[in-house]
Amino acid sequence: MEKPYLLHFATPGARVSPFDVNMAYDAGWNAVIPYAGVGLADIAGFTQDAIFSRGPKGVKRTGIFIGGRDAVLATDMLDAARRAMVPPFEVSVFADPSGAYTTAAAMIAKVEQALAQAHGTTLDGRRVVVFGGTGPVGMTAAVLAARAGARVTIPGHDGLARASEAVDLLNGRFGVDIQAADASSDAAKHALLAEAEVALATAKAGVQVLGAAHLGRATALLAAADINAVPPAGVEGIGFMDDAAPLPAAGKAVGIGPLAIGNVKYKVQQGLLQKMLAAGSPLYLGFPDCLDEARLHAA
């Protein structure tokens, strides 16, 4: 009898995500086994528990999925799991904390597509402002945009302190050059938007970060993207299904809504889970791999 495909789902939190469990089963895994409270100090031992019981053939039918809510911690756990492998006992590992990696990758890929189609340009050199950038999706999107050559700013709606802390963490961990800014007043937000060419709305569901009055000051804006599917929209004027639709309040800008981003996010996560199943050698999948996959689906 052939061994089943087993995905061991580790999270530092109290429970795993039902969304990710559903995705893994739908991608073809025979069983998804949840483990809560698995942090950075635990992942090496967890990994070695998973690899030694099935033999060199069985490990090809075994995978590890890393969840949680911390974008940086998930990358550290992915790296630690990889270091814990003992070839030929080696399994594929996929990190996607709270869907942050796949969502951010889908957002950046759709923005790249919109910039190319609507304006004949790329992210390289563009001024990108990531609203809600201290959360896991925003932090990941900021790093991906910076790695694509953008000049990225994370503004703090409550002042400079939390934004500066997030920026220092990302710059130190990923070798990027992201800036922090104060966006605690309309005046500060208007100053940011006066130069912004891309606006990414990654704040909590139901929070509008940019209204029509803000967008009216964004004279350089080329594209805005919003992941918020709960009314009101994170960016006023962006529809749920908009896919590079005109954003009249911001002149020449186009808007990308949560469904356009979510459709790509879904395909990215399913595609990478299926690649783990089909891989002849171990895969280690983090947010750069998510962006590679997202670019394929956005195109």
Total Cβ atoms within 10 A of residue 283: 16
pLDDT digits (tens, 9 = 90+) for 241-286: 999 999 988 889 999 999 999 999 999 999 999 999 999 899 999 9
Averaged confidence pLDDT in the chain: 95
Residue whose structure tokens are 């945009």: 145
Question: What domains does the chain contain, in order, with CATH numbers?
Answer: 6-95 (3.40.50.10280), 102-261 (3.40.50.720)
Rounded CA-CA distance 92/276 in Å is: 6
Segment 133-148 shows an average pLDDT of: 98
The counts of H helices and E strands in the chain are 11, 12
Q: In terms of pTM, does the model score above 0.85?
A: yes
pLDDT digits (tens, 9 = 90+) for 110-120: 999 999 999 99
Structure tokens at 270: 């399913």
pLDDT at 57: 81
pLDDT digits (tens, 9 = 90+) for 42-61: 999 999 999 998 888 888 99
**∠ CA 146-240-188 to the nearest 5 degrees?**
50
